[in-house]
Amino acid sequence: MTAKPSLNQLAFFASRPHPCSYLSGRNTVNLFTDPGAPMDTAIYSRLADFGFRRSGSHIYRPRCPQCQACLPMRIPVHIFQPNRAQRRTLKTNQDVQAT
pLDDT digits (tens, 9 = 90+) for 64-99: 878 888 877 777 889 999 999 999 999 999 999 888
Distance CA 97, CA 54 (A): 23
DSSP 3-state assignment of 91? helix
Residue 14's H or E segment, with its range, is strand 12-14
Q: Tell if the pTM clears 0.95, that is, is over it.
A: no
Q: What is the mean pLDDT of residues 29-34?
A: 93
Cross-strand bridge partners of residue 58: 55
Distance CA 55, CA 3 (A): 26
